[in-house]
């Protein structure tokens, strides 16, 4: 650990340990059941926001960082949408579910052999038999709400309701025209509590409005709000880019940097409205987490990171992550603890005083507990596998070493990087450290065997 890192964590630990020591048993119990607000951006680049070096103004997201804890080594569970969302709801590696190692294709299409097999059986989605964070929190007395993108199954049996959400609104698929709310081939995907619905407006604004509406509802129980934005996922449409007709499939991945920046600014506005709603309602005991489901596309700003969405280089999986909990987490703190999406599932479950069902232990760690305890960063061992068509990406991070492989048919490309010295993954060590490559490959193979799906 560098001297700079030690100083950061010394300051952080001092504030947190001081807080911990003065909390009474009653106050601690009250703080253990806060409102839980999880804001998920879609395809947001690591440096797309101001507090991570972005040039597009994002004052509300930056405010979260000023008032909370900003993570610099946080990862998404996958380089695409559906995998990370699966991991967040289950608290487990998405590979355990089967068929969800790749984003479900528009119109409910499987994109690799296992997903195709499940689609043919009408089983492509997140089964209700899997652990659901929403169900755990609902059973623990929370009101559970999703405002925004689902992307875990097109069929009603996979919808948010059966997974424990009391209220849900948003598109069921991966991407939709921001004004007409249809996929590239014309399928309307906007739903309200299980039924198709039509609403006029820009998708980002509709998601914000629903999130704010749910915050303002009078209730006695704590709230779990999953605000899952589609921005800045394609199509690249700013709030002033409405057309009379939906974006065509040919233009779906086209767009300008100006439109992309406008999408991020509107996303930031939405974060600001959610924060204002919490303040207006006097919900001061609220943990707000902001992050992204994967790294940015080529349109995004991934800063010094190599690669982008769809790859397992840092640019495909390292994402912004900020947590704010007034009076609990110190303002303006920075953490270099390695974390991953499914860690928040563990933290949320503990705060709600619940736990996963027997036989389905969480794969993550309690990231918040470590922060509150003021512990310095500890090494993590994390695994990734992503599949689409004939391509399989694999990666593993063990301490500062990271192994990345890309298999296309029988051809395999392997890379080894030391992220502590080479954040941009420019210095490939695969030929210099063959023993480390072999050791990590063996551990990765063991993990792949351990997470084989049951269906």
Name the pLDDT band for 133 (thresholds 50, 70, 90): very high
Q: Average pLDDT, whole number, for the chain?
A: 93
| Number of neighbouring beta carbons within 10 Å of residue 453 | 14
Of the candidates 51, 60, 81, 180, the residue annotated as catalytic is: 81
pLDDT score recorded for residue 355: 94
Name the pLDDT band for 31 (thresholds 50, 70, 90): low
Eight-class DSSP state of 115: H
Of the candidates 60, 102, 151, 181, the residue annotated as catalytic is: 151
Considering Cα of 169, then 59, then 300, then 180, what sign does the dihedral take? positive
81 catalytic residue (yes or no)? yes
**Token couple for 414:** 């392997």
415 catalytic residue (yes or no)? no
Query: pLDDT for 333-352, tens place per residue?
Result: 999 999 999 999 999 999 99
Asked if pLDDT for residue 100 goes beyond 70, the answer is yes
Asked if pLDDT for residue 10 goes beyond 70, the answer is no
Q: What share of the chain is helix, strand, coil (3-state, %, to 5)?
A: 35, 20, 45
Cα–Cα distance measured from residue 110 to residue 150, given in angstroms and rounded to the nearest whole number? 16
Closest by CA to 94, choosing from 345, 409, 349, is 345
Query: pLDDT for 164-182, tens place per residue?
Result: 999 999 999 999 999 999 9
């Amino acid at each position: 650990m560098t001297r700079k890192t030690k100083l950061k964590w010394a300051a952080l630990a001092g504030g947190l340990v001081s807080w911990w020591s003065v909390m009474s048993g009653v106050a601690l119990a009250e703080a253990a059941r806060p409102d839980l607000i999880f804001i998920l951006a879609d395809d947001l680049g690591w440096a797309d926001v101001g507090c991570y070096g972005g040039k597009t103004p994002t004052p509300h997201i930056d405010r979260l960082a000023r008032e909370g804890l900003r993570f610099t080594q946080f990862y998404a569970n996958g380089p695409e949408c559906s995998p990370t969302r699966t991991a967040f709801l289950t608290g487990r590696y998405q590979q355990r579910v089967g068929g969800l190692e790749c984003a479900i294709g528009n119109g409910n299409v499987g994109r690799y052999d296992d997903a195709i097999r499940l689609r043919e059986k009408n089983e492509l989605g997140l089964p209700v038999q899997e652990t659901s964070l929403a169900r755990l929190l609902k059973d623990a007395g929370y009101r559970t709400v999703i405002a925004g993108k689902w992307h875990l199954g097109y069929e009603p049996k996979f919808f948010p309701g059966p997974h424990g959400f009391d209220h849900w609104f948003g598109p069921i698929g991966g991407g939709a025209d921001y004004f007409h709310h249809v996929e590239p081939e014309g399928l309307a995907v906007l739903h309200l509590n299980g039924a198709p619905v039509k609403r006029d407006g820009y998708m980002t604004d509709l998601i914000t409005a629903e999130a704010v509406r749910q915050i303002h509802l009078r209730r006695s129980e704590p709230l779990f709000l999953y605000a899952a934005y589609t921005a800045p996922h394609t199509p690249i449409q700013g709030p002033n880019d409405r057309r009379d007709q939906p974006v065509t499939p040919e233009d779906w991945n086209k767009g300008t940097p100006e439109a992309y920046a406008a999408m991020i600014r509107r996303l930031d506005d939405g974060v600001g409205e959610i924060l204002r709603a919490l303040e207006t309602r006097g919900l001061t005991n609220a943990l707000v987490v902001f992050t992204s489901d994967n790294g940015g596309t080529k349109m995004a700003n991934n800063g010094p990171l190599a690669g982008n969405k769809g790859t397992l280089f840092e640019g495909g999986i390292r994402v912004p992550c900020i947590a704010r909990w007034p009076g609990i987490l110190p303002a303006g703190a920075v953490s270099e603890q390695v974390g991953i999406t499914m860690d928040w599932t563990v933290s949320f479950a503990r705060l709600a005083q619940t736990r996963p069902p027997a036989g389905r232990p969480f794969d993550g760690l309690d990231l918040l507990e470590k922060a509150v305890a003021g512990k310095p960063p500890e090494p993590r061992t994390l695994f990734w596998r992503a599949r689409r068509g004939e391509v399989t990406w694999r990666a593993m991070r063990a301490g500062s070493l990271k192994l990345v492989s890309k298999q296309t048919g029988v051809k395999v490309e392997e890379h080894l990087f030391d992220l502590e010295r080479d954040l941009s993954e420019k210095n490939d060590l695969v030929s210099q450290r063959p023993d480390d490559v072999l050791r990590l490959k063996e551990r990765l193979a063991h993990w792949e065997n351990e997470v084989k799906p049951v269906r």
